[in-house]
Amino acid sequence: MPAPQCASCHKARAALRRPRSGQALCGACFCAAFEAEVLHTVVAGRLLPPGAVVAVGASGGKDSTVLAHVLRELAPRLGISLHLVAVDEGIGGYRDAALAAVRRQAARWELPLTVVAYADLFGGWTMDAVARSTADSGRSRACCTFCGVLRRRALEEGARLVGATHVVTGHNADDMAETVLMNFLRGDAGRLARGGGLGSPGEGGALPRCRPLQLASQKEVVLYAHFRRLDYFSEECVYAPEAFRGHARDLLKMLEAARPSAVLDLVHSAERLALAPAARPPPPAACSRCGALASRALCQACALLDGLNRGRPRLAIGKGRRGLDEEGPPQPSRPPTSQPVPDF
């Protein structure tokens, strides 16, 4: 059976049906529609004002690659300038190949690129060293907890280094729905309350952050990368199989199979969530060590590093954080280097 005609241009043959709407489009019309929807998200949400210097979190993966490409296409209309910021977490056999993809993108698109490394920012700690430390303490599954917090801090530091006024990341609708599910499953009301909207306004001196792809499905992100023939790195991080997010992803797939609108329903539910006054977390204050926003004496990044430097990474996770406020300052510690990286 021949492919139907494109429902937009009525000239070319349709190359796909959009997963949500079922609209039949050719590749060119789909990409134009995708870009128009991202533009609408940015403009309607007032995410990136004219004149903004935007640090694009570039990992080399499909999401950040699509985000950088789309914003490069839209930059003249938005009146913004872009600077790619990549983070080297220090994951052997994985991050080097991803950074190579980022460097190819920067050269092809003629965008400035800055790379910041965990080892330089966090006293020699790399993710491989964190993995060895947490494995010794029975917390090997916590690697993604450490990496998520430290990566956010590293991206902020990189953005400040290049003089950015805003930070953007490539989180898509599926990513955000998974996060909502994870917070529900953990009973984390504070994160649920903070997880709505398209980003954060930049309280307490932090740079404003936004997620222009938050309403775009993962399937359409992949389709856009395909039709634009984008070069990206597609291998999964070696530590990802242990992450709790994988269980939320599996659950989301089952929910989406039963209810196709489940992903956006979850995203919008977080936007509309309101907590009772008694359940609201206290307003954030400044971290006593680095000055970043924090709900306790130490921000999460400093707490994690404290636990690592004490040789007690359990202290930095969940209820263990209570002990950090009661102990003295951490003793200098060197990341473990002599042991092999565990095969997760």
Binding-site annotation: residue ranges for ATP: 57-59, 63, 87, 170, 175
What span, in angstroms and rounded, lies between the C-alpha atoms of 147 and 167? 18
Neighbouring CB atoms inside 10 A of 63's CB total 23
204 touches 7 (CB < 8 A)? no
The token pair that represents 183 in the structure block:
């917070």
Give 55's DSSP letter: E
Q: Dump strand ranges (E) for the chain.
A: 16-17, 24-25, 53-57, 81-88, 113-117, 166-168, 199-200, 209-210, 285-286, 293-294
User: 87-114: b or e for each residue (b if 16 or more CB lie within 10 Å)?
Assistant: bbbbbeebbeebbebbeebbeeeebebb
Measured CA to CA, the distance from residue 14 to residue 16 in angstroms comes to: 6
| E strand or H helix at 108 | helix 95-109
Amino acid at 101: A
Q: Which of 307-331 are b and which e, b meaning 16 or more Cβ less than 10 Å from the residue's Cβ?
A: bbbbebbbbbbeeebeebeeeeebe
